[in-house]
């Protein structure tokens, strides 16, 4: 076992586990996300003091994505990412949803046009006419 996993405890709080898995930067942010209803434990809303068990399914908001993980190992030590990613396994459904969401985001971003210049006088008049016709 690595040094980070030597200090394995049999009873670990949910907020501490999510912090050790590097999903949230601090335990207080982890606790706020749990209390805010952004984390589900085995399909139910959980409290920060919930004891994590092996094989449990945790659904959480990570950035803008909702991911589902399965607990593989327990640790209350926040180590490097290479060690932390061994503590859980992301479900196949979650990986597919995440890929689909990224593709949709790319598609949405490609449809956005960015204007780098101010409209000229003719464009401003046309826009004003258009808005006046819309309001009538």
The pLDDT of 71-97, averaged and rounded, is 93
The pLDDT of 97-117, averaged and rounded, is 84
**Domains, the chain, with CATH or none:** 3-135 (3.10.290.10)
Task: Give the model's confidence band at 8: pLDDT under 50 very low, under 70 low, under 90 confident, else very high.
Answer: low
Q: What gap in Å lies between CA 132 and CA 136, rounded to an integer? A: 6
Alpha-helical runs (H) found in the chain: 3-6, 14-20, 27-35, 81-84, 92-111, 121-135
- So what's the pLDDT on residue 2? 47
Q: pLDDT by residue (tens digit) across 47-83?
A: 999 999 999 999 998 878 889 999 999 998 999 999 9
The candidate with the shortest Cα–Cα distance to 88, out of 38, 49, 41, 27, is 41
| Secondary structure (DSSP) of 51-87 | BP-TT-EEEEEETTEEEEEEE-----S---HHHHTTS
Q: pLDDT by residue (tens digit) across 12-61?
A: 999 999 999 999 999 999 999 999 999 999 999 999 999 999 999 999 98
């Amino acid at each position: 076992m690595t040094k980070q996993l030597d200090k394995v405890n049999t009873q670990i709080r949910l907020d501490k586990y999510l912090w050790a898995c590097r999903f949230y930067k601090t335990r207080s942010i982890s606790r706020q996300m749990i209390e805010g209803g952004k984390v589900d434990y085995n399909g139910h809303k959980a409290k920060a003091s919930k004891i994590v068990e092996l094989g449990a399914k945790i659904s959480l908001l990570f950035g803008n994505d909702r991911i589902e993980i399965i607990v593989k190992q327990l640790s209350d030590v926040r180590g490097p990412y290479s060690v932390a990613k061994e503590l859980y396994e992301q479900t196949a459904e979650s990986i597919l949803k995440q890929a689909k969401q990224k593709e949709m985001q790319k598609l949405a971003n490609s449809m956005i046009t960015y204007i780098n210049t101010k409209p000229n006088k003719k464009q401003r008049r046309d826009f004003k006419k258009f808005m006046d016709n819309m309001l009538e």
